[in-house]
């Protein structure tokens, strides 16, 4: 009796939609020309009523020139009805979680591409704890911001659980938003009378 085993080798190309070649080119270009690496991100904001305001994001400075997004974006923030507000948008603190999710997820896709790991789905859940006595001034020992943030990723990919954990760790290591929230950032606030 003869057993014939057929082996099919499929040539697969990892495609997470990230242009790693271009990113590595940018890394080299900015290493050679550090002045081009100076970016200024911007937003403007207008008060509407009560705790409701609207922010606009449309351009930034980088690579030595003014840059425009393909479209301008507007975001409303407000406080919830439980705070006697009108809930015309998410709360400002929830926007931080949105930014953190977007930054870590983009990093995971880029690192996976570089490591030739095909992603199928990347889902995150984020939770930020807060004791509201801080912002209400009800307790001097309570901070205003989050007392901690938990992020959990559930990732379907051609990789082991360890490889997935390493992907997430590398994204965290290079994340702008993770660093901006985890570590202190100097914020100067000035005002003038219109």
Q: Does 1 bind a second copy (CB under 8 A)?
A: no
Closest by CA to 121, choosing from 164, 67, 178, is: 164
- The two tokens of residue 111 are 């690192």
Q: How far is the CB of 144 from a second copy (least distance, A)?
A: 4
List the interface residues with a second copy, window 141-170 (CB under 8 A).
143-157, 159-161, 164-165, 167-169
Closest by CA to 72, choosing from 54, 86, 58, 88, is: 58
Assess contact for 130 and 31: CB atoms under 8 A.
no
Residue 116 or 136 having the CB closest to a second copy: 136
Q: How far is the CB of 11 from a second copy (least distance, A)?
A: 22
Q: How far is the CB of 12 from a second copy (least distance, A)?
A: 17
Residue 116 or 143 having the CB closest to a second copy: 143
Q: How far is the CB of 90 from a second copy (least distance, A)?
A: 5
- Direct distance between the N- and C-terminal alpha carbons of the chain, in angstroms, rounded to an integer: 93
List the interface residues with a second copy, window 35-64 (CB under 8 A).
37-47, 49-53, 55, 57, 60, 62-63
Q: How far is the CB of 53 from a second copy (least distance, A)?
A: 4
Spatial neighbors of 107 by CB under 8 A, at least 6 apart, are: 170, 171, 172, 174, 175
Assess contact for 60 and 78: CB atoms under 8 A.
no
Closest by CA to 126, choosing from 145, 154, 107, 106, is: 154
Q: Which of 5, 10, 11, 31 touches a second copy (CB under 8 A)?
A: 31
Query: Cβ–Cβ contacts within 10 Å for residue 112, how many?
Result: 27
Q: Does 172 bind a second copy (CB under 8 A)?
A: yes
List the interface residues with a second copy, window 59-118 (CB under 8 A).
60, 62-63, 67, 69-70, 73, 75, 77-85, 87, 89-106, 108-110
Residue 1 or 187 having the CB closest to a second copy: 187
């Amino acid at each position: 009796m003869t057993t014939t085993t057929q082996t099919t080798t499929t040539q697969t190309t990892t495609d997470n939609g990230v242009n790693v070649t271009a990113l590595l080119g940018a890394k080299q270009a900015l290493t050679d020309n550090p002045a081009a690496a100076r970016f200024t991100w911007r937003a403007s904001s207008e008060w509407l009523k009560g705790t409701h305001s609207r922010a606009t994001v449309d351009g930034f400075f980088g690579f030595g020139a003014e840059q425009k997004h393909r479209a301008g974006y507007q975001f409303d923030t407000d406080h919830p009805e439980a705070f006697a507000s009108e809930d015309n948008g998410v709360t400002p603190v929830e926007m931080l979680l949105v930014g953190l999710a977007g930054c870590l997820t983009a990093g995971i896709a880029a690192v996976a591409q570089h490591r030739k790991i095909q992603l199928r789905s990347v889902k995150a859940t984020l939770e930020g704890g807060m004791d509201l006595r801080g912002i209400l001034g009800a307790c001097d020992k309570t901070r205003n911001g989050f007392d901690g943030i938990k992020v959990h990723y559930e990732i379907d990919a051609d990789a082991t659980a360890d490889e997935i954990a390493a992907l997430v760790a590398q994204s965290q290591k290079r994340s702008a938003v993770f660093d901006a929230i985890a570590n202190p950032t100097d914020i100067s606030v000035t005002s003038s009378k219109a």
